Structure 1
Amino acid sequence: MRIGELAALLGVSTRTVRHYHHQGVLPEPPRRANGYREYGMRDAVALARVRRLVELGLSLEEARDVIAEDRSRELPEILAEIDADLAAQEADIRRRRARLAEMLARAEDGTLGPDDTASPDLVDFLRVVDVPASKSAAWDRDLLVLVDSVSTADDRQRTFAMLDTLAADPQAAALGQEFYRRLDELADAEPDDPRVPELAAAMADYSVRHVLHDLRPGPGWNPEQMEPFLEGLSPAQAEVVRQATRLITQVGHEQ
């Protein structure tokens, strides 16, 4: 098949396929005698793999390494891996739809108010919609819900005013993305990785200076309340958050 047929099959544009070729992510087949490049099953599988890896938050450079490793593997092995991934996605969608059905039933019987800000309900809903590509960003979103649930009314108002200010600051947004990137790089690391304390100190310093400088821990705040929110992080990522939290809490107590 030609490049247009391959792109249509995977639901992307031919420009995307050419971009992957240019970046060295997707191998480009040689031209045939007729002057056209012909794509086969292995090319389609490779493109599907690239799309899935990008969807999971990997960079093109990381995806390129995975696809390069695939070239030495047999096609049935790769297809079996894709099948296992699809099965996991199917199970996850079933769980999310079941949770959404519960929330729908509660909304219909009046036990889930449209303006409720209780942490468990918001976290469940945000996990159902599953918007962020970055796992670290998804965790941070859940943490903001936790802050909302344990803060005093005055602190809550200042928190979200602060978030509005940060959202309007391109440099602050860029720094936040940099923190997410550095956290994502620790996805396969151990808690004693030397990058952990460095990143924890940087996040704590930024939080104290620009985020929490006008806030104080509410009477219901306990750092251990964060533990359930760390379950989806890797050991190293969770350790970053614990260390950063300890540093932030220490500063709060000293002030």
Structure 2
Amino acid sequence: MRIGELAALLGVSTRTVRYYHHQGVLPEPPRLANGYREYGMRDAIALARVRRLVALGLSLGEARDVIADDRSRELPEILAEIDADLARQEEEIRIRRRRLAEVLQRAEAGTLGLESTASPDLLAFLKTVDLPASKAAAWDRELLLLMDTVAAEPERERAFTMFRTLAADPEVAARGNEFYRRLDELADAEPGDPRIGPLAETLAEYTLRHMLPAGLPGESGFGAEEVEPLLEGLAPAQAEVVRQAVRRISAA
């Protein structure tokens, strides 16, 4: 298969595959006589492994060592290890669904409070962050609490580490407050307001630079469809900023 077919098979962009090649994480097959590179099953397995290892919090250098080790092993052994990893993921999903069922049950009973379901680490962190008195900031806080409530434990730990690092950087914190201010200004704006595009572009650039694993584009974990249910608390123009930003990130 060609690089585009490999990327589509694993749900990433060709830019992501080339980025892994450039970083030395994913071996790049030699060019054939026709000038194209031909990818096979081992390449698809290696790409899947890299994505999973990065999702688990490994650096690209650590993932590179694992993939290099894979090259010296037999394919059935690698597949057996992947199968075991999928079984662990399946258990994580079951845990998340149980937690989500509990949250939904409490929501239906009218007893749901996100502060009572989010992790203590995140709650303590939010108390130390000087968020502005902003509707956009309040929405962002509720979104963080909701995502933390339904997330698996490893995801909670990674997200908390990232937010703590961001909050420790005064420049990053100032940029965040500026985003909230600009979003608040769009509370009464029309969905076609000319300020939407520039703000979405700035927000996407900020996210790609500061909030994705190893600065890798296209690895946000959210697409336009996934983020849509989370936009109900925003005004139409504000929601359009988030939609456009997510589309830019997905296409990066």
TM-score, length-scaled by structure 1: 0.51
> In structure 1, what is the Cα distance between the partners aligned to 2:108 and 2:32?
61
> In structure 2, what is the Cα distance between the partners aligned to 1:172 and 1:128?
26
CA shift for structure 1 position 95: 1.3
Matched, 1:135 2:157: yes
CA distance 1:92–1:109, change in 2 (3 Å): same
CA shift for structure 1 position 117: 2.9
Matched, 1:117 2:115: yes
CA shift for structure 1 position 139: 7.1
| SS of 2:115 mapped into structure 1 | coil
Matched, 1:12 2:12: yes
Q: Are the counterparts in 2 of residues 57 and 134 from structure 1 also a CA contact under 8 Å?
A: no
The amino acid that maps onto 2:119 is V
RCO higher in structure (CA 8 A, sep ≥6): 2
Q: Are the counterparts in 2 of residues 3 and 37 from structure 1 also a CA contact under 8 Å?
A: yes
The amino acid that maps onto 1:91 is E
> In structure 2, what is the Cα distance between the partners aligned to 1:170 and 1:130?
30
What is the aligned-residue identity percentage? 71
> In structure 1, what is the Cα distance between the partners aligned to 2:3 and 2:42?
13
The amino acid that maps onto 2:61 is E
Residue aligning to 2:25: 25
> In structure 1, what is the Cα distance between the partners aligned to 2:74 and 2:156?
31
CA shift for structure 1 position 57: 1.4
1:50-98, CA deviations, whole angstroms, 9 ceiling, x for partnerless residues?
1111111111111111100101111111111111111111111111111
CA shift for structure 1 position 31: 1.2
Structure whose alpha-carbon radius of gyration is higher:
1
CA distance 1:168–1:40, change in 2 (3 Å): closer
Unaligned runs of 5+ in 2: 121-145, 175-252
Residue aligning to 1:170: 171
CA distance 1:43–1:64, change in 2 (3 Å): same
| SS of 2:118 mapped into structure 1 | helix
Residue aligning to 2:107: 107
Q: Are the counterparts in 1 of residues 92 and 152 from structure 2 also a CA contact under 8 Å?
A: no
| SS of 1:112 mapped into structure 2 | coil
> In structure 2, what is the Cα distance between the partners aligned to 1:18 and 1:81?
26
The amino acid that maps onto 1:62 is E
1:177-233, CA deviations, whole angstroms, 9 ceiling, x for partnerless residues?
xxxxxxxxxxxxxxxxxxxxxxxxxxxxxxxxxxxxxxxxxxxxxxxxxxxxxxxxx
CA shift for structure 1 position 167: 6.7
CA distance 1:140–1:32, change in 2 (3 Å): closer
Q: Are the counterparts in 1 of residues 95 and 152 from structure 2 also a CA contact under 8 Å?
A: no
Count of residue pairs brought into register by the alignment: 148
| SS of 1:117 mapped into structure 2 | helix
> In structure 2, what is the Cα distance between the partners aligned to 1:104 and 1:57?
29
CA distance 1:139–1:19, change in 2 (3 Å): closer
Unaligned runs of 5+ in 1: 145-163, 174-255
CA shift for structure 1 position 122: 2.0
> In structure 1, what is the Cα distance between the partners aligned to 2:19 and 2:36?
18
Q: Are the counterparts in 2 of residues 50 and 67 from structure 1 also a CA contact under 8 Å?
A: yes
TM-score, length-scaled by structure 2: 0.51
